[in-house]
A and B are shown apart, each in its own frame.
Chain A
C-alpha cells in the first residue's frame, strides 16, 4: 500500500530537548516536504527536498533542520525545541505537484 509514515504520532517534550520526527515514503517520490498546521493559519511549509541531498527552506524554517540521505526518508529535527513549536506536523511526498500526506505528529513543547 502506498503510504507516508511518520513517527511518533504524539510527542510531549520539554524546552531545549532535541527531538527527531521520522518520515518515510514507499512511493519512490523525489519530492518530500514538512508542514506545520496551526489553527487559522492552514498548512505552512517548513522545509522541502527535491531529491537526495537537496533540501531547501519553506516559509517557516526557523528552529528546524532536515536531512535527505536516502530517497525514502526525510526526518525533521528540532535541535532546541521551544513552546512556539507546539503544533501539528505533517510530512508529505509528492509526484507532479500532488502531495500525499502522513497521518501527522502532534507535538507539545512544555
Chain B
C-alpha cells in the first residue's frame, strides 16, 4: 500500500531547542495531518493542512503543506518536557488513512 516516509526516526534534544521533522510521499496528497501520541494513549490531532503551500500554527507548533503536495513539515519551537511522545504524519489515500512510521521525540531537561 501507499507509504509515507517520515524522518527522523527519533530525536533526543535539549529543552528549549527547536525541532523539525518531515514526511514525504511518492504520491500526491490533498490533505496532510499531524498527530501526537503521548505514552499510553491514542494519537491526537495537532494540525490539519488542506492546501498546497499552506502554513498553519498551533501554539509552538507550525506545519507546512509542501507545494509539490508530496511532502509536509512540522516544526516545534522552544521544546518543553511535555513535548515528548511520538509524532505521526498522515494523509487520506482513497478511503483509507495512511500513517508514517512516526518520529519519537525525547526532551532532556
Which of A41, A44, A50, A92 contacts B95, CB < 8 Å? A50
Do residues B45 and A41 form an inter-chain contact, with CB atoms below 8 A?
Answer: no
Do residues A40 and B101 form an inter-chain contact, with CB atoms below 8 A?
Answer: yes
CA distance A55 to B26 in the complex (A): 27
With an 8 A cutoff between CB atoms, is A15 at the interface? no
B interface secondary structure, majority: strand
Which of B6, B41, B44, B88 contacts A104, CB < 8 Å? B41
Chain B residues packing against A (C-beta within 8 Å): 1, 6, 9, 31, 33, 35, 40-45, 48, 88, 90, 92, 95-102
With an 8 A cutoff between CB atoms, is A12 at the interface? no
Q: Mark A82-98, 1 if CB is under 8 A from B, else 0.
A: 00000000101010011
8 interchain pairs (CB within 8 A)? A4-B42, A40-B9, A40-B101, A48-B95, A50-B95, A97-B33, A99-B45, A102-B42
CA distance A44 to B6 in the complex (A): 14
Do residues A42 and B102 form an inter-chain contact, with CB atoms below 8 A?
Answer: yes
Q: How many residues of A contact B (CB 8 A)?
A: 25
Which 7 A-B residue pairs are closest in the complex by CB-CB distance?
A101-B42, A42-B101, A43-B99, A59-B1, A42-B99, A97-B92, A42-B102
Do residues B42 and A42 form an inter-chain contact, with CB atoms below 8 A?
Answer: no
Given that A59-B1, A99-B45 are known contacts, is A42 also in contact with B92, CB under 8 Å in the complex?
no
Do residues B95 and A101 form an inter-chain contact, with CB atoms below 8 A?
Answer: no
CA distance A102 to B98 in the complex (A): 17
- With CB as the reference atom, state the residue of chain B lying closest to A42: B101
